Structure 1
């Protein structure tokens, strides 16, 4: 009789029994492993899919949180208001919607005292009619006496006794606060603007690609021009060097801030004075960080502004000749006798630290003519302190490379 093949129960297929019982057991174990492996693969694949999806969600969430400003992670993204502005809002009725209004994108900030009310009025009226937001820094504490001016209620008023323009700017013009504005004009109050128009000025600096600029000074009027680079050059629309090929060449061969034919740094090129600087949004964000909290006169800052020019300072920093002003040189803080000759200015040790400043110098009092001397002392001291801090910062920052290394003469 022919033996029939043995059928193994419990399997979906038939297996012929050709081997011994041991072989059959081994075959059974092998088949079980294979079946187990086949059953595990879908499970592992499913786990991997879940892990991938989960990690994707985590990565997305991390990426979203990374885009949020620090401190806002707990808030829903749509409620975040990342910038601010200086627009005033009504107490009742519908709020102003900036996206639906033609609002100013430029800012004039000016330190003022009531004694210069007439000059300030002339300046502000030109900027207000050009759509500027205007902020007045009242260093004498007098605010109410400005209310008879037509534009007074449209301006923002900040008052602090005997503080400088740079003290106000450091505290009230943080880059995040003025991020809505394309250009920031940080001006003194003693400027004649008869030959200046803000709109035309903006058009020129935008066309010329100037990130830091100032209107030229009329050398025939007002205070004597201390740095030739700021003097108006009649044949030019804009100049960036003190010695333009289109005018008679000028070299300052004596005194401070000397300029020679091969001079490549401030105050001979890439430089503006501090009475009427104009900053782009990006340049101001950089310059704001250089303003020291305790060095309120900001002496020495002008020589470093070129580092904030968002490019080569000889191209991005310039003086606008087509729109020029008169610097009247009227004394404000500390008395009436502000501008003496440079030879009469008191000297001061440049290595003196801020902690060593005499209390009579740093008191900020403006009660008499002697205070003007103290103001000058403080200014010269600050110049030395700022230079020292800059040198220390350069030595300590091993990663920083100076794009304008000083040439050893």
Structure 2
């Protein structure tokens, strides 16, 4: 089976007014358009265009067991359009999600409660591939020696000195844990303001981009402690077609740009700043991997002629990419897949001979009996279960 699916953009406040409209070649709606979900997640299941008016979750349930169709997809595919910075976030491991969900269930915390941390018992690793010419993100904690140089450039206000003292621990993970714990849980508003003011007005050739970002974040989230957390994170500027992989425990925030995002089918998010929403500092500190590391870039590997594969080595998902195929390119599927067009006009043809033409922003669900699918023209991403 090869059937077109669609969904409407979600109007989160951080969404862009133009990026999705420009991709799809339509007039902007005038509202922020943040994400379009192509999947069966109950928060916003896609609509299946087979004449039945079913959502994808119902469609999968009705076809479960046929042609390798599962009752639920293990992944969620999205278009993400950030016009303003998203919150700093971390996601749990599978083990942490199972334990945390059971704990909150036993405590009787309503799933919809604002202070609920675990909405389900699944992990939520994710990959985002840049579609805009640049995509700006924060991902992981910067090398401690570099972070100390950045903080040294901020002067000697009381708040800056307090942050510097907590970064002085010999063990990098302990230093970063102490600093983030202090920023989010102990520092008073005056100390946060002193650090943000020093960074927003500071001068550093090495960290010019980070200090510019501080000014952007301070404008969007005045006095938010997350602005200081951001100063400790890797600033990443992806070029079109580049990607990052965010596994469990890695602090991250998407700042600006358009991307294709794929993640495990979960809604487990613990926030660490740049948000008015609930922040559970103790639980956040229990989940974060405080080891400093380089930005978690994910390079694709060649899969076939004209095809590359973003495969982080997890069972939940992988993402094939066919770019500018002037000749047909075959994509071998693993399970139920979703093909999403992002440029040009692409024709996706299944093994049965069924074909669908997709314009940018349009998608189709494909069952594994249609493997391999052939993509001709345009630029297409194909989401599928992992290896």
Higher relative contact order (CA 8 A, sep 6+): 2
Name the structure where strand makes up a greater proportion of residues.
2
For this structure pair, what is the TM-score category when the shorter chain's length is used for normalisation? Answer: under 0.3
TM-score after normalising by structure 2: 0.24
Q: Which structure has the larger Rg over C-alpha atoms?
A: 1
The structure with the greater share of residues assigned to helix is 1
Q: TM-score, normalised by structure 1?
A: 0.23
